[in-house]
Amino acid sequence: MREPRAGGERFGGPIMGTVTQESAAARQDLPDAALVARLLREQAPHLAGQDLRPSAASGSSNWVFRLGDGQAVRLPRSEGYAEDLLKEVRWLPRLGPALPTPVPRVEFVGDASEAFPRPWTVVSWLPGDPPADLDSTQQAELATTLGQFLQSLHDMDASGVPEGAEHWGYRAGEPVTDTIDEWADYAATQLSDVFDPEAVRRAWRLLRDVPPATTSPCWIHTDLSAENMLVDSDGSLSGVIDWGGLGVGDPAVDLLYAWSMFDAPARDVLRAAAAADDASWVRARAWAFVGPGLLTIENYRQTMPGRTAKLIAMVTTIAAEVGIRIR
């Protein structure tokens, strides 16, 4: 899952005035298996005729249909997410082969047409399950293998590739900006039935006091939530999906979901395995609190209650680390 977007970035919310419009537009052109079969017949006849079925992997960015046993068709829900899809098309063939963990292989790129107004892709289907209800041993295994994956991703050559929020969206920028301050204040008000709004504001004043980055900008996934990971039965990382947020920026952003996926001992394992220093860890915590935390809760609490319950626990834990009780 990814947060709402606005202005070509990875996050917006009603404060930016676009999320409701995009969601409404997405509902109006909801594709079904018959439409996907038509797309395949018209543009990829060599893939047509296989079993097609909607996938539970569909999220807030793309509709996903299983194609046979080994492939998936991904159709972006809006023009903004189409840009993300094309980003995957451009960069995954370069990055994927060098990573220690499998990522989807782009096998066909479809064009916008009368049948569907945006580009779409066929990708390889990765085995594994999203991490859920992992015990302490499984959490430690995931934390170890995720940390190793992050070191490999962050060490990949990004020379000559533009960096920062201007090119890749807000998560490739800084964890504290005037805009994020506005989001924090807005969310504190909107979530007054969930959190104490003044306590939320006090927590953010403490969390936003972050040091400068101590590492150079590098390749980052930016959305390493549980929904975008696959694991084996022992908890080890077996796949990383949904690369639409890919960019070049602060590697701390790839640690932000530590507080939603792991208990405290496993967070320590992840921190060590990813070789995250104190500055990166503090910056990751700030990254997590507002955009992926508070505003995602506000935007999805009616439609994804299970997901937002985890995020409520995440921001509560983060606030407690700076001595603030927000519930």
Does residue 187 surpass a pLDDT of 60? yes
pLDDT at 56: 82
Q: What is the mean pLDDT of the chain?
A: 91
Every domain of the chain with CATH number 3.30.200.20 lies at 31-124
pLDDT at 25: 45
pLDDT at 19: 38
Does residue 271 surpass a pLDDT of 50? yes
Q: What is the pLDDT of residues 228-265, one digit of tens each?
A: 999 999 999 999 999 999 999 999 999 999 999 999 99
Would you list the DSSP string of 213-236?
Answer: PSS--EEE-S---GGGEEE-TTS-
Least confident of 14-23, 55-64, 169-178, 294-303: 14-23
Every domain of the chain with CATH number 3.90.1200.10 lies at 136-321
The topology (CATH level 3) of 31-124 is Phosphorylase Kinase; domain 1 (3.30.200)
pLDDT at 5: 38
The topology (CATH level 3) of 136-321 is Aminoglycoside 3'-phosphotransferase; Chain: A, domain 2 (3.90.1200)
Least confident of 13-17, 91-95, 204-208, 278-282: 13-17
Q: What is the pLDDT of residues 102-143, one digit of tens each?
A: 999 999 999 999 999 999 999 999 999 999 999 999 999 999
Cα four-point dihedral sign 206, 298, 178, 222: positive
Note the pTM of the prediction, 2 decimals: 0.90
pLDDT at 29: 64
Phi, psi angle pair for 301, to nearest 5°: -65, -25
How confident is the model over 160-175, as a mean pLDDT?
96
How confident is the model over 38-50, as a mean pLDDT?
98
Does residue 179 surpass a pLDDT of 70? yes
DSSP H helical segments within the chain, as ranges?
A: 19-28, 33-43, 79-95, 136-155, 165-168, 178-190, 197-207, 258-261, 264-273, 278-288, 296-300, 305-321
Most distant CA atoms of the chain, gap in Å: 59
How confident is the model over 25-33, as a mean pLDDT?
69
Would you list the DSSP string of 198-210?
Answer: HHHHHHHHHHT--
How confident is the model over 52-65, as a mean pLDDT?
88
